[in-house]
Each structure stands twice: as structure tokens, then as C-alpha cells.
């Protein structure tokens, strides 16, 4: 943990709300991206971020200062997101998929006819979102952390609070499921 | 080198495979493995279609505006655990005293008091409903876990610890509100959560079976489900409690 962050955490622990404010500013966007990929839509992602900071604030006294604050915060956010995703699945609700204006597939320059490409990228995006919904909560969490957040497996296991072997297997299962679901589409897309 | 497994190819994609050089050499000479690797590559590259919108400018300020009002009130409570119960007891004692004096020296409370108490009660019911649901999910997962060898439950223990903090508050609130049924179930839940929190991080299949039996004998999951569905019937779900 870098020195400035360590100092902020120490101040926040002793009750300095401004220090906690600075930590919120530092980590909120990263947490939002993680939450969005876990939940699939903006309102839920914002709820997860809000709930995560609240839980973090309540539990600051339990935080081990030798550990990374970011990893600890990610762990809380993953738990919040998992709670939300699982309760949705339990209630049989569909995970809402949101249209994104800055879709890189849509905005990338292309030599193919635009309508075809748009249709294909829209379908791919939809299929990717569906395939993500097919993953179990643990698979989804492990995959998001490894693939989108670029964490090494060792770090993924620290965030998820499991053994590296378990994190690795969740990632393998996730990739296998995604491959089965997406191969027909990405195989013909080139 | 033998043909790499799909797992090794996935690790190779993420640059986490051992023997990277040998793997690359193998892939350049083996059509079958290269085909599988290219499929893994296409799939994982295709995942980038799932883009994330950037929150609009001022997101941090908006978030802080929602968070800040709740922090100072919880501040001392959460950072000084030794004083926690003393503070709660003192607060309850003062409330009781005020209630007693109000009853003794004034006329019966007019309608506005009843009106203001209702939303508070409803908010508490929603919060308890959410808590019951999260407890149910955690216990169900543990009850349904399958393990041939020792099972790592450190993740569940952490969640149990979070739930315990909330559970104590809700149990006290339910008791002081005279809701003995909810308080009783939360009391049962608290014992189970404590047991999970203090169990070893790796438990044997026999310990897991014992825990399952315990959950079944106490009927805790059933009680939580009934309580949760009763609560849901009384209140509409309402997120963003801040």
C-alpha cells in the first residue's frame, strides 16, 4: 500500500471523514467498473459501489493495515455484487443488460458495411452479456477480476478469499462456458 | 512437449503459463493445439464487446453526497467497539426515560407521532428483509457445498462476520420493539453465524455434515425463509436506503 493511501486509511480509521472522502474519490470509478461487469447495468453497479463504501466504513477497524486497501475494498465490492447477483438469480430475475454508447466494437473504424457491422457487434454484445449471465456468481467474479481488471490469479484468490487453485478453476470453468457459448459467433465474425 | 491442456492454453493467453517458450514453440508446430488456442483467443478477445460506460462527471461528488450523511452518525459506534454496547444501552435507557416521563406528564401522543414512526418501522423491515435474504444465501450455499476433502470456508466466514455485526443491531431493535418472533429467529441466526465465524478456515467433510445437520435440526433456513417472505408481503422492496 502506498504511503499516501496508508496515511489516508489511518486517518479514516481514527474517524476523519475527509480522509475517507479522499479514499472514496480514489477508488469509486474502479469499483464502479468492477460492479458494472458483475451486475451488467448502471443502477445496480451504483448501488453496489455505495453499499461497498458503507460496509468498508463500518469495517475499517477490521482492516489489516499491512494489506492492500484496494484489494480489501475490491473484496467487499465483490461480496456486495455477489449478494445482488445471487439474490436476483434466486428470485428468477433476468440480469438487465445495458446499451453502452461507447461500445468499442461499434465505434471502431471499419471497412465493412456499417449496418452489417453494427448488427454483428450488437448481436455479439448481447450474446456476450447472455453468456456472462450463464456463469455462476463465483465464476463470473473470478473471470471479471482476471480478464477485465487484469489481476493475476494469486491476486484474484486474495480478493475472493479462496485458494489460488480454486480461483484458477473458476476462471477455467468460466472460459470454457464462454467459449462454448461464443465460439459459433466469434468463429464466423472474422 | 506433450500437447498442452485447454487450461494451460488459457493461462498462456493471460501470460501466466509456465514454460511459455516451449508452449509457443509447440503451438507453432502443432495445428490441433493452435486451432484450440486460436479459439480461446477469439473468445476472450470477443469479451471486449462488453464495454463499461464511464460514470458522468461529478459521479464521485454525487456518491459522497449520498454517503456522507450516514457516516458521522455511525462513526463513533463503529470505531470504538468497546463503547458500542455502553452507548447503545445509554441511548435505550434515555429513550425509555423520555418515554416514561412523556407518558407520565403529558397527554396521549397525537396522530403525528404514529405517522412518523411508521416509515421508520418500514425502513427497519426492509433492512431486516435484506439481511435475512443475504443470510439465507450464505447458509444455503454452505449447506449445499460438496467436498471430497477439506473445504475452505474463509470466504463464508468473512460474510458471516459482516452479517453478525448487522444481526446484533437488528436483534436488539426487534427486542426493543417487542417483536419477539423476529428477535428469536435473529438470536438463533446469531449463534449459527458465530459458530461459522469461529470455525477453522478449512473444515473436513465430517464437520460440514455436522454443520448441515445442525442447520436442519435448528430449522434455521426454514425460519429465515418464512420470516423473509412475511416481510416481503408487508413491504415493497426499496433500494438505496441512504
The string of pLDDT tens digits covering residues A38-54 is: 998 899 999 999 999 99
To the nearest whole Å, the CA of B200 is away from the closest chain A CA by 14
Q: Which residues contact B190 (CB under 8 A, 6 or more apart)?
A: B164, B167, B168, B171
A38-77 exposure pattern, b = at least 16 Cβ within 10 A, e = fewer: bbbbbebbbbbbbbbbbbbbbbbeebeeeebbbebbbbbb
Tell if the CB–CB gap between A162 and B81 is shorter than 8 Å. Answer: no
Q: Count residue pairs from A and B with Cβ separation < 8 A.
A: 154
Tell if the CB–CB gap between A128 and B49 is shorter than 8 Å. Answer: yes
Distance set, CA B78 to CA A13, A22, B95, B132, B161 (Å): 10, 19, 21, 21, 14
Q: Which of B64, B134, B162 lies at the smallest CB-CB distance from A24?
A: B64
Outline where chain B has alpha helix (H).
6-13, 20-29, 31-46, 59-67, 71-79, 81-105, 111-143, 154-176, 180-198, 205-218, 220-234
Nearest chain B residue to A55 by CA distance is B162
Task: Evaluate if residue B109 carries a pLDDT over 80.
Answer: no
Average pLDDT of span B163-185: 84
Q: Which residues of A touch B60 (CB under 8 A)?
A: 24-25, 28-29
Nearest chain A residue to B51 by CA distance is A103
Coil, helix or strand at residue B152: strand
* Phi, psi (degrees; rounded to nearest 5) at A128: -60, -45
Q: Measure the CA–CA gap between B141 and A37, rounded to whole angstroms.
A: 23
- Residues A117-152: tens digit of each pLDDT: 555 667 778 888 888 988 988 899 999 999 999 999
Band (pLDDT 50/70/90 cuts) for residue A97 is low
Q: Which of B48, B60, B154 lies at the smallest CB-CB distance from A28?
A: B60
Average pLDDT of span B160-166: 84
**Complex ipTM value:** 0.77
Task: Evaluate if residue B114 carries a pLDDT over 50.
Answer: no
Q: Which residues of A touch B159 (CB under 8 A)?
A: 79
Q: Which residues of B touch A100 (CB under 8 A)?
A: 51-53
Tell if the CB–CB gap between A53 and B152 is shorter than 8 Å. Answer: no
Q: Measure the CA–CA gap between B11 and B236, rounded to whole angstroms.
A: 46
Tell if the CB–CB gap between A147 and B44 is shorter than 8 Å. Answer: yes
Nearest chain B residue to A107 by CA distance is B49
Tell if the CB–CB gap between A79 and B14 is shorter than 8 Å. Answer: no
Angle between helices A3-13 and A17-39 (to 10 degrees): 110
* Phi, psi (degrees; rounded to nearest 5) at B151: -110, 130
To the nearest whole Å, the CA of B238 is away from the closest chain A CA by 12
Average pLDDT of span B20-43: 92
Tell if the CB–CB gap between A50 and B43 is shorter than 8 Å. Answer: no
Band (pLDDT 50/70/90 cuts) for residue A111 is very low
Domains of chain A: 1-93 (1.10.1740.10), 108-190 (1.10.10.10)
Q: Measure the CA–CA gap between A145 and A166, rounded to whole angstroms.
A: 14
Rounded (10°) CA dihedral A92, A132, B161, A19: -120
Tell if the CB–CB gap between B16 and A166 is shorter than 8 Å. Answer: no
Structural element, H or E, at residue A141: helix A137-143
Nearest chain A residue to B50 by CA distance is A125
Q: Which residues of A touch B72 (CB under 8 A)?
A: 17
Q: B179 versus A170: which is more confidently predicted?
A: A170
The burial class, CB within 10 Å (0-12 / 13-18 / 19+), for B50 is: buried
Q: Which residues of A touch B133 (CB under 8 A)?
A: 87
Q: B200 versus A28: which is more confidently predicted?
A: A28
Structural element, H or E, at residue B202: strand B202-203
pLDDT score at B158:
80
Task: Please check whether residue A78 is in contact with residue A98, taking contact to mean a CB–CB distance below 8 angstroms.
Answer: no
Coil, helix or strand at residue A39: helix
Record the cell numbers describing residue A124, joined without a space.
Answer: 455479439
Question: CA neighbours within 13 Å on the CB side: how many for A154?
Answer: 1
Amino acid at each position: 500500500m502506498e504511503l499516501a493511501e496508508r496515511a489516508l486509511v489511518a486517518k479514516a480509521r481514527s474517524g476523519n471523514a475527509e480522509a475517507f472522502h479522499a479514499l472514496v474519490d480514489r477508488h469509486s470509478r474502479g469499483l464502479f467498473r468492477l460492479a458494472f461487469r458483475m451486475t451488467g447495468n448502471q443502477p445496480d453497479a451504483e448501488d453496489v459501489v455505495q453499499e461497498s463504501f458503507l460496509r468498508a466504513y463500518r469495517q475499517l477497524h477490521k482492516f489489516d493495515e499491512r494489506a492492500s486497501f484496494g484489494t480489501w475494498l475490491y473484496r467487499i465490492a465483490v461480496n456486495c455484487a455477489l449478494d445482488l447477483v445471487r439474490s436476483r438469480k434466486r428470485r428468477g430475475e433476468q440480469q438487465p443488460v445495458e446499451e453502452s454508447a461507447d461500445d468499442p466494437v461499434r465505434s471502431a473504424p471499419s471497412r465493412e458495411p456499417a449496418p452489417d457491422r453494427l448488427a454483428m457487434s450488437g448481436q455479439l454484445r448481447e450474446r456476450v452479456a447472455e453468456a456472462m449471465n450463464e456463469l455462476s456468481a463465483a465464476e463470473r467474479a473470478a473471470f471479471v477480476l482476471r480478464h477485465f481488471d487484469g489481476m493475476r490469479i494469486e491476486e484474484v484468490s486474495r480478493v475472493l478469499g479462496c485458494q489460488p487453485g480454486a480461483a484458477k478453476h473458476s476462471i477455467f470453468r468460466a472460459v470454457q462456458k464462454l467459449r462454448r457459448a461464443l465460439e459459433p459467433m466469434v468463429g464466423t465474425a472474422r | 512437449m506433450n500437447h498442452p491442456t485447454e487450461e494451460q492454453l488459457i493461462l498462456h493467453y493471460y501470460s501466466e503459463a509456465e514454460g511459455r517458450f516451449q508452449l509457443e514453440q509447440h503451438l507453432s508446430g502443432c495445428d490441433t493445439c493452435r486451432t484450440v488456442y486460436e479459439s480461446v483467443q477469439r473468445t476472450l478477445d470477443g469479451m471486449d464487446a462488453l464495454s463499461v460506460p464511464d460514470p458522468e462527471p461529478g459521479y464521485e461528488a454525487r456518491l459522497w453526497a449520498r454517503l456522507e450523511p450516514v457516516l458521522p452518525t455511525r462513526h463513533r459506534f463503529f470505531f470504538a467497539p468497546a463503547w458500542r454496547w455502553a452507548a447503545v444501552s445509554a441511548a435505550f435507557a434515555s429513550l425509555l426515560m423520555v418515554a416514561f416521563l412523556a407518558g407520565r406528564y403529558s397527554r396521549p401522543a397525537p396522530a403525528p407521532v404514529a405517522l412518523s414512526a411508521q416509515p421508520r418501522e418500514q425502513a427497519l423491515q426492509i433492512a431486516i428483509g435484506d439481511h435475512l435474504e443475504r443470510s439465507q444465501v450464505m447458509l444455503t450455499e454452505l449447506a449445499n457445498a460438496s467436498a471430497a476433502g477439506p473445504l475452505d470456508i474463509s470466504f463464508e466466514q468473512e460474510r458471516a462476520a459482516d452479517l453478525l455485526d448487522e444481526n446484533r443491531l437488528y436483534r436488539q431493535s426487534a427486542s426493543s420493539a417487542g417483536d419477539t418472533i423476529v428477535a428469536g429467529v435473529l438470536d438463533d441466526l446469531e449463534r449459527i453465524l458465530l459458530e461459522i465465524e469461529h470455525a477453522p478456515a478449512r473444515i473436513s467433510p465430517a464437520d460440514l455434515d455436522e454443520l448441515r445437520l445442525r442447520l436442519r435440526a435448528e430449522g434455521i433456513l426454514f425460519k429465515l425463509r418464512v420470516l423473509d417472505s412475511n416481510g416481503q408481503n408487508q413491504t415493497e422492496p426499496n433500494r438505496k436506503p441512504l
